[in-house]
Structure 1
Amino acid sequence: MRFSVFLNARTMSADADKQLIVDLEQHALLAGKLGFDAIFMPDHHFNGYMPVASDSYMFASYLAAKLPDMHFGFSVTSVPLHHPVRFVERINILDHLTRGKLLVGIGSGTTPEEMIGFGVNYKDAGRIAEENLEAAEALWAKQIDDAPVELTGFHQGRVLQRIAPTSYGPKHARLMPVALKESSATRAAVNGWPTFIPAFTPPKIGGTDPLSHVTKHFGNYHRQLLAAGHSDATVADALSWTTHSYQCVHLAPTDEQAHREVQEILTDYQEAIDREAAFNAKAEADDANKKTDRTGHALTEDWMATWCLYGSPETVINKLRAYQDIGIGNILCGTTTGPLTAKRLAYANQTLELLAKHVVPAFK
């Protein structure tokens, strides 16, 4: 089982952005020193959800120069917000900079506030995502003497030559759909890609039995992957990166200390969410941008059971055994959840140290 670090920190004011970028770099370098498998980053805009997530491809490029042995991933790229040409170009460049160690999570996005900033209506996001992914595949396939690729959807253009640079390997970088929709699970399986296995089912994003959802979605994807006729090596690679994510992972020497500290972390996290509520309401002022699913309060049992992994190393190991038994290949650990104060960073580094010393060896 692999273990990856998710850089998902927020700031609460503009004057905190500078220090957050410094702190996230140091946290990522610590993850590299401790032997974690990958660094993942979100793709978000405007709302304080990790300021560097406004261009996480740029931040990944910077970190890749400092961590040449690290894999890098995105959880997840909001495909409707990226012009297909720029989407393909930037993936190809980062594919080279990481020497093929790139995992591009893809989804249609989650926040109307972000959509309207790019002129996209939330209700159209799924359709535009499909348009963009179809266009991206055509761009990746295009040779210089082929007929032009015509982009006629929400994003438009006419590509006469080819995308430069070309992909690092014989195929483009691995994409990672979220295996919540049947079409997304099928896309991953048919292409031999890994996928994100969710523990939630909209419209209620949360619950006290996440394992049943993970089992269901993994089983569906796994059956399709095996039926697709890939080589054993392709199947093994896809499964080794098939990912279950935790928004908040926190370890302490004892369960009691971990519970006390995670309550503190989630209190600050919820304060950040509440601050953003007024802006979300403005974004949803018309029917074209109404969300159909809701996420509960972070300090509820439903939220914590779905989105959190916390406790002593022994408790965390025991919790993860069930996911190992299902076949999950990669655990994505949100170690910097919430506003990244100095105290929060200390908690995050504490979690990395305990994971690396006690938990990771138990699964290697």
Structure 2
Amino acid sequence: MDFSLFYFDGDGSVAQPNKYQLLIDSAKFADQNGFSALWTPERHFHAFGGLYPNPSLTNAALAMVTERIQLRAGSVVVPLHHPVRIVEEWGVVDNLSNGRVGIAFASGWTMDEFILSRENHANRKANMWRGIKAIQQLWQGEAVDYQDASGRTVQVKTLPKPIQQKLPIWITCQSPETFIEAGKMGANVLTSLLGGTLESIVPKIKLYREALAKKGHNPEEKKVTLMIHTFLGESLNEVKEQVRQPFCDYLKTHYDLLDNLAKSMGLNVSLKTFSEDDLDSLLLFGVEGFMKGRSLIGTPTSCLPFLQQIEQAGINEIACLIDFVPSYKSVMESLIYLKQLREKYHAVQLSQKTLV
């Protein structure tokens, strides 16, 4: 199983220097210590997450400070952009990185984001699949027909020519239908535990692998990447204290996650009617249980069994979301323990293969 780093938060609303210090320094750490990839998102109009409006920009910067690690978008929202523009930008990054880019594609979430696009929000899934096909063609040097402002059809080829002949792609998946469609087209998948438990993902992964095989793709060659909140340290109690408030703050900004938390506690209520004090009480009593089974928060020893469960579920890459804790120092120190977890995991895998 591969280990990569995922970035999703970070306060972009404050004017201060060195906003990207954690991104740059943790990327260098990952590059120098055998991690597989770095993932930066596309997020618009969010104070937390406002550091990452365009993953091609952040990955262009990362290309300059890393040497071997893969540079990926998690994710590019296809309906918000013209396919030509996507291929042009990522062609630059592929050249800057000497062929290290990969892109997870998504259809988009909130209606607000679609001020950036003339595409209809209701048709975003169909527009995503159509856009991905055009992106693949353009990446491989094929001409694609588009209309100019006068309605005249123009055959378009993009430059610069990428280093990689074929673009490695992921599809951001939550629903069974999207897993199946990703399998049919032979893409990798990027998923998370934000909308459910590990057990709820297993049937979707099975559908994905079956769809791959039916279309003649080798299921063993494809990646199922799991984005997961990650923070490790030496003492389990100290880690919980460091993480509890940042994780609560994170959940407060995601209504669907709060709803999942309430359901996991057996509460069939509408959180829209909750006061701020009610939400604080819910988080105080429920957040530790919510983190268990949905995150890698703890010590290298305490997280190892769950990591093995993740592998048994059919997942072969974990994308560790590290920046939900706002302390640069704490997150950088946590990476040392994440490296230890990876080493423990690989040692167990090696010993099991030796026994066989």
Which bracket does the TM-score occupy, shorter chain normalised?
Answer: 0.7 to 0.9
Residues 299-342 of structure 1: per-residue CA shift (max 9 Å, x gap): 4447535753211111111111011122211101011115x3xx
CA contact under 8 A between 1:135 and 1:151: conserved in structure 2? no
For residues 85 and 43 of structure 1, what CA distance do their matches in structure 2 show?
Answer: 17
Q: Name which of 196, 200, 209 aligns with 2:190.
A: 196
2:178 maps to amino acid: S
CA contact under 8 A between 2:80 and 2:116: conserved in structure 1? no
- Note the 1:265-284 alignment, pairs <5 A: 265-270=246-251
User: How far 1:115 moved relative to its partner?
Assistant: 2.3
For residues 157 and 6 of structure 1, what CA distance do their matches in structure 2 show?
Answer: 42
User: How far 1:105 moved relative to its partner?
Assistant: 0.6
For residues 214 and 126 of structure 2, what CA distance do their matches in structure 1 show?
Answer: 27
Q: Name which of 213, 231, 254 aligns with 1:250.
A: 231
| Alignment correspondent of 1:261 | 242
| Alignment correspondent of 2:331 | 348
Call closer, same or farther: CA 1:322–1:151 in 2, change over 3 Å: farther
Aligned length: 318
Residues 150-184 of structure 1: per-residue CA shift (max 9 Å, x gap): 359xxx9954241223343332x111012334553
Q: Name which of 161, 164, 179 aligns with 2:159.
A: 164
2:61 maps to amino acid: Y
- Describe the SS at the equivalent of 1:24: helix
| Alignment correspondent of 1:71 | 70
For residues 197 and 319 of structure 1, what CA distance do their matches in structure 2 show?
Answer: 17
CA contact under 8 A between 1:177 and 1:187: conserved in structure 2? no
- Describe the SS at the equivalent of 2:158: coil
1:325 maps to amino acid: Q
- Note the 1:252-331 alignment, pairs <5 A: 252-270=233-251, 299=283, 300-301=286-287, 303-305=290-292, 307-331=294-318
Structure 1 length normalisation: TM-score?
A: 0.77
Residues 264-302 of structure 1: per-residue CA shift (max 9 Å, x gap): 22244356669xxxxxxxxxxxxxxxxxxxxx9994447
1:347 maps to amino acid: S
| Alignment correspondent of 2:200 | 213
Call closer, same or farther: CA 1:157–1:163 in 2, change over 3 Å: farther
| Alignment correspondent of 1:59 | 58
| Alignment correspondent of 2:11 | 11
User: How far 1:15 moved relative to its partner?
Assistant: 1.3
Bigger drift between 302-311 and 45-54 goes to: 302-311
| Alignment correspondent of 1:175 | 169
For residues 120 and 301 of structure 2, what CA distance do their matches in structure 1 show?
Answer: 46
Call closer, same or farther: CA 1:188–1:174 in 2, change over 3 Å: farther
Structure 2 length normalisation: TM-score?
A: 0.78
For residues 12 and 271 of structure 1, what CA distance do their matches in structure 2 show?
Answer: 18
For residues 303 and 318 of structure 1, what CA distance do their matches in structure 2 show?
Answer: 17
Residue segments in structure 2 that go unaligned for 5+ positions in a row: 256-278, 348-356
For residues 135 and 12 of structure 2, what CA distance do their matches in structure 1 show?
Answer: 36
For residues 19 and 162 of structure 1, what CA distance do their matches in structure 2 show?
Answer: 38
- Describe the SS at the equivalent of 1:20: coil
Call closer, same or farther: CA 1:160–1:31 in 2, change over 3 Å: same
CA contact under 8 A between 1:12 and 1:272: conserved in structure 2? no
Call closer, same or farther: CA 1:157–1:166 in 2, change over 3 Å: farther
For residues 359 and 94 of structure 1, what CA distance do their matches in structure 2 show?
Answer: 28
Root-mean-square deviation (CA, aligned residues, Å) is 3.0
Residue segments in structure 1 that go unaligned for 5+ positions in a row: 275-295
For residues 303 and 121 of structure 1, what CA distance do their matches in structure 2 show?
Answer: 35
1:10 maps to amino acid: G
For residues 111 and 156 of structure 2, what CA distance do their matches in structure 1 show?
Answer: 35
For residues 220 and 319 of structure 2, what CA distance do their matches in structure 1 show?
Answer: 18
- Note the 1:213-252 alignment, pairs <5 A: 213-230=200-217, 235-238=219-222, 241-246=223-228, 248-252=229-233
- Describe the SS at the equivalent of 2:165: coil
| Alignment correspondent of 2:346 | 363
User: How far 1:60 moved relative to its partner?
Assistant: 0.5
Residues 60-89 of structure 1: per-residue CA shift (max 9 Å, x gap): 112112212011111111111111110122
- Describe the SS at the equivalent of 1:165: coil
For residues 33 and 141 of structure 2, what CA distance do their matches in structure 1 show?
Answer: 41
| Alignment correspondent of 2:270 | none
| Alignment correspondent of 2:145 | 149
